[in-house]
Structure formats: structure tokens, C-alpha cells
Amino acid sequence: MNKLVIAGREFNSRLFIGTGKFGANSVMRQAAEAAHCELVTVALRRVDLRRGAPEDPLISHLDPEKVLIVPNTSGARNAEEAIRIARIARAGGGFDWVKLEVTPDHNHLLPDPIETLKAAETLVKDGFNVLPYINADPVLARRLEEVGTVAVMPLGAPIGTNRGLRMRDMIEIIIEQARVPVVVDAGLGMPSHAAEAIEMGADAVLVNTAIATAADPVRMASAFALAVQAAELACDAGAREESRTAQASSPLTGFLWEEGEAEG
């Protein structure tokens, strides 16, 4: 496969990791290292005033030389809030990449397409590299590309469900149509799901819950990394999917060989 490039930046690994739900920041760091991960997402939250700023802040565990830190706008329920969070993240750490997540739906954490598009337009104009998290909607993906997002991130299945590529058919269409990298995010529960996404043609995958909540997150991170590498190797080796097989039907080209009638 060609090298993964997003917004002009090269990545050696197609496995991105979300840093939420880990028991401890040190475990998160080890998992990211085990996966040779080069992009992680982080979130922003109000400081708990009773506790003060954490003694073991997340950011201190991440080496910005080795890994790109991408804040997400989780918690935003509309475009305005998402834009605000992105700007806060930039002010706080100079991050000009943002994973745009606008999820007013608390039950399934599904993203709002309209607010996402609105926010994307503003944030792109504001100089952000925007990676929007969306339902696997091919037309929405194109609209976001048009306003200038540097990638699109369709969900495989709702966050945390670990169900794999439920949205497979739509993701295939997005991959076919997209002119920016496609990062399948959310719902990838097993390394094989990640491999499947890459084999389908996705440029990268983002995994959080499956790794963070595994009994051994560091090992699970390795497993995902190996699965992604396996898929890349397979693509390089020329693997292609089986298409729907033929059903026998009467011959269509026989007329070309009928004597005296075919031309040329």
C-alpha cells in the first residue's frame, strides 16, 4: 500500500488509538507504544475542582515528537460547542488537528450530521485540520470533503459496541468515492475487524474501547497492530475480494461468431 498521508503528514502505522477508558495513563502509553501508534485522540473536560489538576496528567505521557495528539470535541452537542472545544484545545496545547465529534445522542453517541458539517466548515476556515466523525453516509462524506476536511471517519458500529463493520456496505462506497483518507472509527471490537477494514480499502482505523477495556490492553494493542499490518501485507500481495459469483444464463457473445454476419 502507498504510505498513509493525511494533511501532508506521513504515518507509518494505520492504527490510531483513542486514549479514553484506560485504567491508568501509564497503561495507555504502553499500549500506544506496543502498537507503534503515531496518532492518538484525547478529549477535554472540566477540571474537577475538588481534586485540582491531576497529578498524572495525560499529556505528560505522550511524546509529541513520536505521536500526533488529536483532541476530539466529544461532549459537544452542536456545532457551536464543537467549535469552542476545538479552539480551547488549540489554545491549551497548540493542537491544530481536531477530531470533530458532535454527538447530541446520549444513547448511542451517534454523530449529528448537520451540526458536524456546520462545524467542519468553520473549523476548516479557522485553519484546523479537521477529521470528522460521522455515520457511514457517503453523501455526507462528500459534503465534508468539499468543505475541506483532511479525512473522513465513518463509524463501523456505534461507539463501544465492538460489533465490527456493521456499516460495511456504506463504508465501501465512501472508500470508493473519497479523495481524502478514510479512517474507520468506532465499533471495532476485534483485530479481525480492523484487518477487514484495511482489506476493504480503508486508509486507517481508530480503536479505543476494544483495547482500553481488554484484560491486557498492551497485548490487545499489539494484536490490533499486527492485524492491521497483516491486512496491509495482503493488499500489497494483491489480494482482492471475491465478487458475487455468476449465475448461468444464455450466451451473450455468440452472435459475434455466427458465420457471415459478424463484421470486422
Instruction: Tell me, rounded to whole angstroms, the distance of Cα 145 from its chain centroid.
Output: 15
CB of 41 or CB of 116, closer to other proteins? 41
- For other proteins, the closer of residues 3 and 45 by Cβ is 45
Ramachandran category for residue 220: left, alpha or beta (phi over 0 → left; psi -120 to 50 → alpha): alpha
Amino acid at 168: R
Amino acid at 134: I
Kindly state whether residue 1 participates in binding other proteins, applying the rule CB under 8 A.
Answer: no
Interacting positions 41-70 with other proteins (CB under 8 A) = 41-47, 49, 52-54, 57-59
Residues in the interface with other proteins (CB under 8 A) total 60
First to last CA, the chain: 42
The answer to whether 218 and 34 have CB atoms below 8 angstroms apart is: yes
Exposed e or buried b per residue across 250-259, where buried means at least 16 C-beta atoms within 10 angstroms of its C-beta? eeeeeeeeee
CB of 49 to other proteins, least distance (A): 6
Residue 51 cell numbers, joined: 481534586
User: If binding is defined by CB under 8 A, does position 201 make contact with other proteins?
Assistant: yes
> Using alpha carbons only, what angle is made at residue 133 by residues 132 and 137, rounded to the nearest 5 degrees?
100
Report 95-134 residues binding other proteins (CB under 8 A).
Answer: none
Verify whether residue 99 is a known catalytic residue: yes
Out of 21, 66, 99, 118, the active site residue is: 99
Please, which residues bridge with residue 204 across strands? 183
Least distance in angstroms from the C-beta of 207 to other proteins: 9
Nearer to other proteins, 114 or 256 (CB): 256
Q: Which of 8, 106, 236, 252 binds other proteins (CB under 8 A)?
A: 252
| Least distance (Å) between residue 227 CB and other proteins | 19
Helices 217-236 and 191-200, axial angle in degrees (round to 10)? 30
Residue 148 interacting with other proteins (CB under 8 A): no
Binding region for other proteins (CB under 8 A) out of 84-92, 124-132, 188-196, 213-221? 84-92
